[in-house]
Structure 1
Amino acid sequence: MPQPNRRDTVLLTVTSDTLVAADLGPRTRADDRAGDREKGPYRRLFAVPGARAFTAGNLVARLPMGMLSVSAVVMIAGTRGSYALAGAVTATGLAATAVVAPWIARLVDRYGQARVALPATVFAVLGSLALLLCVRHDAPAWTLFASYAATATTPNTGGMSRARWTHLLKGDAEALHTANSFEQAADELCFMLGPVLAAFLCGALFPEAGTLVGAVLLLAGVVLFTAQRSTEPPVLRRAPARAPFRAPGMRPLLAVCLATGAVFGAMEVVTLAFADARGHGSAAGVVLGLQAAGSCAAGLLYGAVRPAGSARSRLSWCLVAMTALMVLPLLAAGLTGSLLVLAGALLLAGMATAPTMVTTMTLVQRCTPEGRLNEGMTLAVTGLLGGIACGSAVGGWAVEHASATAGYGVPVVASATALTVSVALFGRPGSGRSNRSPSGR
């Protein structure tokens, strides 16, 4: 007796007065993908088993990243009466992070997120608590530097989250694009809400409240995040010999990160000075928050659309847009002098930063050797932090020696520098040269 075709088997049966037809053929992966596409990109993303759990823990752990430095400045300046001391302590912590963070990330890649991130976080939290106690009990100034430097062991929670997405979405470039966009939007949200929460806690409760709450949130978030073992990337028994820094294409991308960080650092310092010069210093946080809000919204929107062209070509286009939009705050400050107009200009300018960072991080992921992803992502973050420090210094110099309005030229120059590096490496947008490397898919 001939067997029916199993791929197109249909069962017909009659129940009472109803004819029932059922397709018994096996579902294919194409069928599954077609069904998934009926959902929105973010619904598909968080339908991945375990995604919601590790994301929730990671967001809790990431919020203190925008709290701890602000809390330290408010706490030290409020009790010691010296912003110079507060700035020097936080700068020391930033320098220590630039040295220690890649080393912590290398250990995470080698031994796993749970085995390294949790003890590293505990050590960092102890550093924050030591800083709190030293400030509270009027300890010598050198103890503040030593305590805050210990917080440099804080793991790169954003990089670990991106590493999980890369592991879970391997081979699905479109879904990974959405995941990277979400992660960048989450970064912007945390850096927007973190300083506001820190300032509120320190002002409404006591000067040490921001540091204390930030330390508790960091530890709780990392505990929740590392407890999700089912989504943790596997550890390679033998890490590749090539370090991420030496990988082809990585160093120019780090230069782009450095220049992009300078945009952020300069914009913050110059905006604070501009608002203060017009007697509205307390409104500077809200104005900067609008820039972060624009970036957050653009990041989510960017993740909802299907990427077109190669990632390298997209990076050049994003940098073109960022350079053009960074002119808006300069024009708003120079032509109107209005803080309200400047706020609108910063909202628009911020919309170019998230797509730029999403595309940069995508290329960093592709350039990083397998098994060293956390280290590669942390190098990119270290480049951003270095750029923020440089941008803050140059922006402050421009404000002091010229004016706050002239200071808005620094972000324009920094973004143009990032664009120049991108064009020199990948070619002009749409030139076709960016498609030569497989990492530029």
Structure 2
Amino acid sequence: MSITPYRRVLAVRDARRVLLLGFLLRLPIFSAGVILTLHVVSHLHRTYTEAGLVAAAGTIAIAVSGPWRGRLLDRLGLRRVVAPSIVVNGVCWSIAPFVGYWALLVLSVVAGLFVVPTFSVIRQGVIAAVTEVDRRTALSLDGIVVELAFMTGPLLVVWLATVVSTTWVLFGIEMVGVVVGVLLWWADPPLRDASTTGSTAAPVQRAEWFRLKFVLFCAAATASTIVLTGSDVAFVAAMRQWSATASLGLVLVVWSVGSIVGGLVYGAISRPLPPSLLLLGLAVTTAPMALATSPWMLAAFSLLAGIFCAPTITATVDAISRVVPPSARGEAMGWHGSFMTTGSALGAPIGGVAIDHFGFGGGFVSVSILGALIALLAAAGARPRTGRPVEVEHRLAA
């Protein structure tokens, strides 16, 4: 595996800056569910169901905001969209940690609706910073940054919650997001390369690009997060069945390491792979985890399954960036993020129902079967049809 593509990407200052900002912005996002649950249960003395309601409400709000905020990003530019996010989130999260349950729920929804459109901004910034040849490598690096934030954020807030009150941990981690939002506003990274900046004068209608191929790529993204979140629940169930809950962290870290390795390899190979093929690989390698009989065996299986995690999501982002015109990428990436968020919301209950009936193995198998079916449907639907252009960009450029 050659590291030359990564050297080229990391040699670009804008790429390095956007990737760093992306890591910092995602820390509060991936930490929010954990710290909100701890805060509601331990500080507000509410049930886990009520804690889940707050997390779910905030997640739904973020999913709703994705396309809306992304469309504004395309029309108004980064600073005019990020500025209200900074103000609204600064106000909401300076109050929310210190109020009661229902006020916290309402404020988390408002903050979610005005969240910084991180995934749209960062992915567009990464794409704009590099050449088309290095796009997949840069997006793979962003996928690895996502994995690192996913691993680091929850561990950080859980540790901090053992040292100080959850009130101040929640306040602190959300204020980090606000401060980084200010840095993002100040940096104002380009979201389009110089060759496409003129497209802002002629906005492209949604009907021009929101077509079957785009939906299929988003469906693959949804399926990937269904498999991942369903697997999360199955991991917990397996550890509880073996009375080895203390080893859960080990398995999750091994799983994430596999994803990072897979992302690095995928970013360095010379040709892209279809998202549907990678999704099928993720589904097929997830199923054998149902056969594990110990934490160590499960960790070994998870390493293999993890190899397909980051590449699958990266491939969907890369594919969408090539079928959507640059002037609509903000909204498109917002839709992509919303589809992924929807998958995250569906994966846990789907896996949970199967676990209740068939044990932890049922959790892995159920989401694996669903992921494989969607992969096959996406592959069938994405077959090129005679006489139709491959990319929207080519047709619009004519």
Q: What is the TM-score normalised by the length of structure 2?
A: 0.89
Paired residue secondary structure (2:107): helix
Query: Does 1:156 pair with 2:90?
Result: no
Q: Which amino acid aligns with 1:184?
A: G
- The equivalent of 2:283 in structure 1 is 323
Spell out the pairing of 1:160-309 with structure 2 (5 A cutoff). 160-169=121-130, 172-229=131-188, 231-233=190-192, 234=197, 236-242=200-206, 246-307=210-271
Q: CA deviation at 1:52?
A: 2.2
Q: CA deviation at 1:206?
A: 1.7
Distance in 1 of aligned mates of 2:175 and 2:36: 15
CA separation of 1:363/1:349 partners in 2, compared to 1, >3 Å: closer, same or farther? same
Q: Which amino acid aligns with 1:142?
A: W
Distance in 2 of aligned mates of 1:249 and 1:87: 34
Distance in 2 of aligned mates of 1:248 and 1:370: 18
Q: CA deviation at 1:352?
A: 0.7
Query: Does 1:41 pair with 2:5?
Result: yes
Distance in 2 of aligned mates of 1:44 and 1:434: 37
| Deviating more after overlay: 379-388 vs 213-222 | 213-222
Paired residue secondary structure (2:201): coil
CA separation of 1:436/1:286 partners in 2, compared to 1, >3 Å: closer, same or farther? farther
Distance in 1 of aligned mates of 2:300 and 2:142: 25
Query: Does 1:386 pair with 2:342?
Result: yes
Q: Which amino acid aligns with 2:128?
A: H
Paired residue secondary structure (1:204): coil
- 1:239-260 alpha-carbon deviations (Å, 9 max, x no partner): 2122577245111222212211
Paired residue secondary structure (1:177): helix
Q: Which amino acid aligns with 1:85?
A: E
Query: Does 1:66 pair with 2:30?
Result: yes
Distance in 2 of aligned mates of 1:434 and 1:66: 43
Distance in 2 of aligned mates of 1:435 and 1:286: 51
Among candidates 326, 347, 352, match of residue 396 of structure 1: 352
**8 Å contact from structure 2 (residues 68, 334) kept in 1:** no
Distance in 2 of aligned mates of 1:249 and 1:60: 32
- 1:355-407 alpha-carbon deviations (Å, 9 max, x no partner): 11111111111222331111111111111110111111111112223312221
- The equivalent of 2:48 in structure 1 is 83
| Deviating more after overlay: 226-235 vs 186-195 | 226-235
Paired residue secondary structure (1:326): helix
CA separation of 1:116/1:93 partners in 2, compared to 1, >3 Å: closer, same or farther? same
| Deviating more after overlay: 280-289 vs 100-109 | 280-289
- 1:65-90 alpha-carbon deviations (Å, 9 max, x no partner): 21111110111111214111100111
Distance in 2 of aligned mates of 1:50 and 1:162: 12
Q: CA deviation at 1:434?
A: 11
- The equivalent of 1:314 in structure 2 is 274
| Deviating more after overlay: 85-94 vs 207-216 | 207-216
CA separation of 1:318/1:230 partners in 2, compared to 1, >3 Å: closer, same or farther? closer
- 1:166-204 alpha-carbon deviations (Å, 9 max, x no partner): 2233xx432001111111111111111111111111122
Paired residue secondary structure (2:326): coil
- 1:230-276 alpha-carbon deviations (Å, 9 max, x no partner): 53435813421225772451112222122111111111111112212
Q: What is the TM-score normalised by the length of structure 1?
A: 0.81
Distance in 2 of aligned mates of 1:70 and 1:103: 26
Q: Which amino acid aligns with 1:214?
A: I
**8 Å contact from structure 1 (residues 295, 352) kept in 2:** yes
Spell out the pairing of 1:308-387 with structure 2 (5 A cutoff). 311=272, 314-332=274-292, 336=293, 338-387=294-343
- 1:323-373 alpha-carbon deviations (Å, 9 max, x no partner): 2211221222xxx2x012111211210111111111111111122233111
Paired residue secondary structure (1:155): coil
Distance in 2 of aligned mates of 1:434 and 1:266: 38
Query: Does 1:100 pair with 2:78?
Result: no
CA separation of 1:83/1:306 partners in 2, compared to 1, >3 Å: closer, same or farther? same
**8 Å contact from structure 2 (residues 218, 316) kept in 1:** no
Distance in 2 of aligned mates of 1:435 and 1:392: 41
CA separation of 1:39/1:412 partners in 2, compared to 1, >3 Å: closer, same or farther? closer
Distance in 2 of aligned mates of 1:291 and 1:434: 41
Indicate the percent of aligned positions where both proteins have the same amino acid: 25
Paired residue secondary structure (1:50): helix
Q: Which runs of 5+ in 1 are unaligned?
A: 1-37
Larger radius of gyration: 1
| Deviating more after overlay: 389-398 vs 405-414 | 405-414
CA separation of 1:365/1:435 partners in 2, compared to 1, >3 Å: closer, same or farther? farther
The total of aligned residue pairs comes to 385
- The equivalent of 1:15 in structure 2 is none
Q: CA deviation at 1:316?
A: 3.4
Distance in 1 of aligned mates of 2:215 and 2:314: 17
| Deviating more after overlay: 241-250 vs 253-262 | 241-250
Q: CA deviation at 1:416?
A: 0.5
Q: Which amino acid aligns with 1:343?
A: A
- The equivalent of 1:418 in structure 2 is 374
**8 Å contact from structure 1 (residues 109, 373) kept in 2:** yes
Distance in 1 of aligned mates of 2:310 and 2:202: 35
- The equivalent of 1:6 in structure 2 is none
Q: Which runs of 5+ in 2 are unaligned?
A: none
- The equivalent of 1:19 in structure 2 is none
Query: Does 1:438 pair with 2:397?
Result: no
Paired residue secondary structure (1:438): coil
Q: CA RMSD in A?
A: 2.5
